[in-house]
Amino acid sequence: MSKMPEQLRAKMAKQGYHFVGDHSAVKICEYTANGLQGKTLCYKYSFYGIKSWQCIQATPAVGCDLSCNFCWRLIPEEHGFKWNELNAVEKWDDPVYIVENMIREQRRIISGYKAKADTDAKMQRWKEGNEPRHVALSLTGEPLFYPRMCELLKEFHKRGISTFLVHNGTLPEALEKLNPLPTQLYVSLQAPDKETYIKVTRPKIPNAWERFLDALSVMKTLNTRKVLRMTLVKGVNMLNPEGYAELIKLASPNYVEVKGFSYIGGARESARNLQYTSMPSHEEIRAFAKRLSELTGYVQAAEHMPSRIVLLCRDEESKRNRIIDFSRIGNQDA
């Protein structure tokens, strides 16, 4: 196949996805909309200085080789589509085309917020929103399935746009080849041990756990800002902090984001066997983060109660340097 199935495209369009070419998509984030209207901002603003109203939420590849039961995105297999067909693309779109049209779609999406800009401050944010400074390659699917990721990152950086690349940990060989590196690299930390990992991620490939461990080892060697992101579900993977601590030590990231699961979107599918009560409170997340801090030596730097997330930093230097220096974006590939 060379294009996303029309039925899948239609389902995703109803959920607010805007498509770029044959395999990429953009969707406005709740916090981007909030930022444009002067409301609560994203944890990325609190933790790293990302202006929510200048952030694009996007993906260059829709398919994923995991079916994490806590994922709030649409999982194509649950709607009759085969994951390996989604990325069996005959010709992948050009990186320049993708970047230019992701920016174009983002501008089209936020165009309606101009009418809502009833103060000078909101109008200023709307104008700034038309000149995005950040892209989160985390919308849906596994972005590293896009074979020209290095070129894509370079195109964003050339435009002064910082990049957060979120990887599920199943493609360690793709991590090794990243050049340039993203401004900040995320690897999802879904479980503390193999048994829980298989239960939570429901992998579609063999040796997923072993590949994940390899990805953590590769992550340790990469010279960029690195994050392990945890999504904790009560009664499912919010256990065995000692196991998580060993994985954190293996990857040695700059930051660990300890985040609570949200019972929204696809996570409410009956097949997932999750409930509203599966969501930990912020106090429970804070307590789990404290235990991880005790086990790893990482220090707590910040928290964002609306997202139920606590940020741990590897050391005081990482804590001091967590706010991104945007003046360096575009020069880091030299």
* pLDDT tens-digit series, residues 57-71: 999 998 899 999 998
Task: Answer yes or no: is 77 within a domain.
Answer: yes
Which residue segment(s) compose the domain that 182 sits in? 6-323
Q: How confident is the model at residue 1 (pLDDT cuts 50, 70, 90)?
A: very low
In a domain, 1, yes or no: no
**Does residue 168 sit within a domain?**
yes
The answer as to whether 54 is a domain residue is yes
What pLDDT score does 238 carry? 98
Q: Is residue 330 part of a domain?
A: no
253 inside domain: yes
Is residue 73 included in any domain, yes or no? yes
CATH (domain of 56): 3.20.20.70
Residue at 331 is within a domain: no
Q: DSSP string covering 197-227, please?
A: HHHHH--SSTTHHHHHHHHHHHHHH--SEEE
Identify the bridge partners of residue 229 per DSSP, sorted by sequence position: 188, 257
The tally of domains found in the chain comes to 1
Give pTM, 2 decimals: 0.94
Q: Count the neighbouring beta carbons within 10 Å of the beta carbon of residue 63.
A: 23
Matching residue, tokens 């389902």:
11
Lowest mean pLDDT among 75-79, 103-107, 276-280: 75-79
